[in-house]
A and B are shown apart, each in its own frame.
Chain A
């Protein structure tokens, strides 16, 4: 039973960043802008917030500092995503190229700034954010051990973001307009929706969430930030596609990916699994094979937003 608790707790460290970043990608793409810069935005968000943590950690610790870091990560992600928004919405640039440029720029920028300010590239931080056990909730048998022990504030924040995102996208005026801009911007424009503004909102939301995802990704898994998020931004894109641009499916995809990733690494410490003799390579492959299968089987009725990746041109009807 302990290993089940462990697996679930550990899965959160993989799944929550994937979930948050994929939801960010969802807002951008449902608004009609392909955002492959998620990786770069994650790096920027993590860089800015970890840097703030390393500066402030002598004077404050714990959840207050984490909340400040979260705000910084969100702000940094939004500012950075503005570049992408400007290039792909105002300048009508190729969105893949703009995203790639940001992906290449982010680690170089983080390395450069870190070296300039503090000589070394890696930014150390003390992890004072882990919650051993949530008061009251952590004492619930089974459920408490599964979800409320050895956890982080960001885990619950991630779940909250999912619920809010699903609501905003499907139940609000804003969500409807955003989706319209991603499906048929000319039609949206004809009824008086400002397509540029909606797309800006979509990209900025994706920047905020991806920046936050970067912070969530780094904190539980290292003791320093080293200008990389190990390709998890791209993995979040896979989660987004696997989730067919829908919040409910994205959470399934994120937990599926996260669980498989956990199994691939954690089976060595769990006797039952290591006795099965299944190679770790198999576990590592499963999410990707599943993505390929899903794509192959559903590509005909793929739910990708129709206008995603196409710069909005008022002249086209």
Chain B
């Protein structure tokens, strides 16, 4: 009997300890999400804004929104970009995802396919919002005919030239066509530059502006077929042209992951041309102790036009609501509000390009001539194929592109193979 008592006591204590351990954790989270008062709805918002953008978010956007919508409180959480996708996956599967998130545009259809996101097309006022923003960024939210997010800010890349090397090559302005770019690169390399065209790597974000401007295409209009587009004669010619640059020594080692990096090469007068997004001048301009003045040492211009015109790649972020959110209506209220003129104007102060057409085209909003070039480039910029399988398809295309750049595969074979594999991934 004594033994039995001991047993019961032992098990009892163990379970108690275990139970308190568990409840301790859960009570903490519940009090966190409930916030202080009960009549207020607290929206959990994950974002990846930078330091300067976050200041505007905390000090201007949040008070403004909460003043206009006194029943909603924003709980802002800045997430690290490293490993973010994995964190979102863990949050979604564990039912701990936030209400709202500002998410990279290429992730939306992938998470929509997973069933993690809320379809926004049915909400009140959706069509108005849709019509008020740029078409290409909006298209990145589409999955099977429904929209799973709204674009909150957009960006693209333009060409940035090293002033000194450009002058050595005999140009005073940024080259406007691919022929001029090739000519300038040849002269710059002859004059001792380490690289003419610094394509940032063998991945789509880096090479697509050149591929598209040289006439290449990815898919048909509704993103359902790669075969016949990715391996069309024009696409093959585009990749062959880039491979020729590589063979002639015009492309910087960065395309195969070599050193120095794009900006290091630019700062040391080693690369003639790189491409980058609108964040560069605020980041580099604010670098403490740096002698490099991006606005003085560089010349920027649109991506040089080739057979495909001047085309760049669209980046940016979409606002999405998770399917598990308890407050979808309030989350939509915030998303809708975020795309209106005033908040878009506020975020533009930090250099984020508005998606709202009216705001973006207001000359008062964007006075910086460099950012104006980005807005101009956006008119012809294209999104990376917005399909859920993109990360896998991208890996296939990147690999074959790298093989061409290394001379291990010819362009036609590489693109035929990539198109076939990409189409079979699309079927999944």
> Is the pairing of A and B real?
no
